[in-house]
Structures are given as structure tokens and as C-alpha cells.
Amino acid sequence: MRHDALLARRRALVELEAARAALARELARLEAALDDEQRIAARTLEALYAYRGFADRVLGERARLEQDMRLLDARIAQAREDLSVAFGELKKFEIARDQRALRERRAHAQAEQKSLDELALARFRHGRADRPA
């Protein structure tokens, strides 16, 4: 899993959460309008008659918004799960990459040390061979 794939999933989640927030704001606006109309309807009989049609439309719209919010909640939950899985996969990849790099550095250091040891041993032997006995 690459970083850009993880970012794409995060962006998708943010977009879903923004859409849900917009629905919540619309629902709050409808509720406020319903409250306002209730206060107005309480004043006169004509307003009360008009309120019934308005209330029916608002209640239908509220039911639609609530249904849309439930659907978005399910999509958000799935997107969060997908993001969590993707993050876990990325971490596994990064850990494996880091461990591989560490093994490579250790192997390189061991090979370098072996080469230095062989060189030191050769110099030691060469130095002993030049000395008179």
C-alpha cells in the first residue's frame, strides 16, 4: 500500500464526513423552519391551515435526510474500516522495508569488516615475514 493510496482513502472519508455534516446542517435548518412555522401557525387559523401542508413537506424532507444520513453513516463506517486496513498494510510494508534495509546494512557492514579483518591479517603476516628470526 502506497502513501498516495492511503491519502486517497483519507480524502474519500473526509468527503463523506463533509457530506454528512451538510445533511446535518440541512436537517437543523428544516427543524428551525418547522419551529418558526409552528409559532406563526399558532397565531391564526389561516396560518394553521397552511402549516399542515408545510409540515407534511418538511416531515417528508426530514425523513429523506435522515435516511440519507443513515446511508452515509454506513459508508463512513466502511471508509473508516478501509482506511484502518490500508494504514495497517502501509505500516506492515514500512516495517518490512525498514527491516530489509537493516539486514542489508548489517550484511554490508559484516562484509566490510571481514574485508578489513583479512587486510589486517595480511599486513600482520606480511610484517612478520619481513622480520628476522
- Whether 98 shows a pLDDT value over 80: the answer reads yes
Band (pLDDT 50/70/90 cuts) for residue 110 is very high
CB 76, CB 70: distance < 8 Å: no
CB 20 within 8 A of CB 72: yes
Res. 47 pLDDT band, cuts 50 70 90: confident
pLDDT at 107: 95
pLDDT tens digits, residue range 24-46? 999 999 999 999 999 988 888 88
Burial of 45 (0-12, 13-18, 19+ CB in 10 A): exposed
More confident residue, 114 or 44: 114
Tell me what pLDDT residue 132 has: 63
Tell me the Cα Rg of the chain. Answer: 36
Q: Is the pLDDT of residue 113 over 70?
A: yes
CA 31 to chain centroid: 32
Reported as a single tens digit per residue, the pLDDT across 53-76 is: 999 999 999 999 999 999 999 999
Distance CA 123, CA 133 (A): 18
Q: Average pLDDT of the chain?
A: 92
How much of the chain exceeds pLDDT 90, in percent?
73
